Amino acid sequence: MAVRRLKPTTPGQRFRIANTFVELTTDTPEKSLLVPMKRTGGRNNQGRTTIHYRGGGHKRRYRLIDFKRNNAGVEGVVKTVEYDPNRTSWISLVEFSDGDKRYIIAPNGIKVGQKINQGSGAPAEVGNALPLSEIPLGSLIHNIELQPAQGAKICRSAGSYAQLLGREGNYASVKLPSGESRRVLVNCMATIGSVSNSDHSLENKGKAGRSRWLGIRPHNRPSARNPVDHPMGGGEGRNKGGQPRSKNLIYSQGQKTRAPKKASSKMIIERRKSIRNK
């Protein structure tokens, strides 16, 4: 993929870095795989704001994505590469030989007409989903399950990928994008390749209005508020506001957020790299 810098013909385009969308083949989604999305505006079922700075935005419909890839032994053909407003990566419509149609996360380099397979015995090619026990060591993978038949949970965003380092017994060692290495059961599924739209991080919205289209409302600094509104607010002139923390007094720097007795901690071989060397 590629991005392009727009000419500064208007203030909103001066800093805009946009996607070229050259990989996309259609702008019409598959109707049978669309479901309505209800927007909450950051409110819970009691009407109270639990997530701030959300609201508005363009109306969306959710695309049903096949994260389980559980139709083993049925070959499919890639029909489209499409934009999905609910995620950063592209998605692909795959039509299988039994007539079933499913959306999958589009891997980098996928083409219309490409054959797609999944399950044990499938060839280790880009876009195919296999158990970790059958993927060649050193391969780049994405859409990784943490429990068998659970569905992919890791490496689903644009440009992300993990690397299969080794296998020992019932577990495989996987190096994640964060730098963390962890063990995953070898009968968990993963997809060969990296996720599409790898240049997503280079994009620049260019203006506040584009964030409003995405449902993101204006955000103001905590130190610019009053003491009644935020723990970091108040003071004469410009004050730093103390240690960065949320409105609910949860520190955003220096405090460990992972549960100390979390069961999956025993699966971590090497913790992710941290600036603070924790």
- Phi, psi (rounded to 5 degrees) for 270: -140, 130
Query: pLDDT per residue over 166-200, tens digit each?
Result: 999 999 999 999 999 999 999 999 999 999 999 99
Cα–Cα distance measured from residue 123 to residue 39, given in angstroms and rounded to the nearest whole number: 41
Q: Which residues contact 175 (CB under 8 A, 6 or more apart)?
A: 162, 163, 165, 181
Q: Which residues contact 277 (CB under 8 A, 6 or more apart)?
A: none
Model pLDDT, residue 272: 87
CATH fold of 3-200 reads OB fold (Dihydrolipoamide Acetyltransferase, E2P) (2.40.50)
pLDDT at 277 over 80: no
Closest CA to 103 of 155, 63, 47: 63
Give Rg (Cα) of the chain.
22
User: How many other C-beta atoms lie within 10 A of the C-beta of residue 190?
Assistant: 26
Q: How far, CA to CA in Å, does 160 sit from each of 43, 78, 172, 189, 228?
A: 30, 21, 19, 17, 41
Number of alpha helices (DSSP H) and beta strands (DSSP E) in the chain? 1, 17
Q: Work out the pLDDT band at 276, boundaries 50, 70, 90.
A: low
Query: pLDDT per residue over 85-136, tens digit each?
Result: 999 999 999 999 999 999 999 999 999 999 999 999 999 999 999 999 999 9
Model pLDDT, residue 205: 96
